[in-house]
Structure 1
Amino acid sequence: MKQTQAIDKASLLQKANELIAAHDDFFPGLQATDVEQKGDVLVFRGDYFLDEQGLPGKKSTTVFNVFKFLATELSPLYHLEA
């Protein structure tokens, strides 16, 4: 099993938001505001831009895909400090 580097939540969110800002699908307001460790996977959270009924809006799929990208890119490198 590959070793990952321990990182605090604030530093990880900073790295995540730098990746988001450079992502092809970036739009203003898209940012990770929280992260949680689920086993070996880092799960990122933020505004999913739901509509008035709480249903996914036009931007929701983009947000989901970008957060999935973050998990794929950062989970093999880092784990949250205990």
Structure 2
Amino acid sequence: MYADTTPIDRNSLLMEANRIIRAHSEYIHGMEATEVEQKGGVLIFRGEFFFDQEGLPTFKTMAVFNMFKHLAVVLSQKYHLEE
């Protein structure tokens, strides 16, 4: 199923994802991937979304969502989680 991608452990993948986040031009202080899971051929990243006190999105929310989407696109082409 993952013939074209390299297996990687969860911690190493999160380290790579956070390196990409910090180097990205849209980086916001505090933006970090803290979880990852495999859904088929796609890696799904999660972390803080910067909701306000009432649980509503802030101006940072869309930036974080877009960053996690970027990670999914870029890293799903390279890696799959080791079983």
Match of 2:71 in 1: 70
Over aligned residues, Cα RMSD in angstroms? 1.1
Match of 1:29 in 2: 30
Match of 1:16 in 2: 17
Q: Percent identity?
A: 52
User: For residues 6 and 65 of structure 2, what CA distance do their matches in structure 1 show?
Assistant: 25
Q: How many residues align?
A: 82
Runs of 4+ deviating beyond 3 Å? none
Q: Which residue identity is paired with 2:65?
A: F
Gaps of 5+ in 2: none
Task: Find the residue that maps to 1:29 and give its secondary structure.
Answer: coil
TM-score, normalising length from structure 1?
0.96
Output one character per residue of 1:22-63: Cα deviation in whole Å (capped at 9) or x when no partner.
Answer: 111101100100001011000000000011111111100000
Match of 1:44 in 2: 45
TM-score, normalising length from structure 2?
0.94
Q: Which residue identity is paired with 1:28?
A: H
* 1:55 aligned onto 2:56: yes
Q: Which residue identity is paired with 1:9?
A: R
User: For residues 55 and 39 of structure 1, what CA distance do their matches in structure 2 show?
Assistant: 30
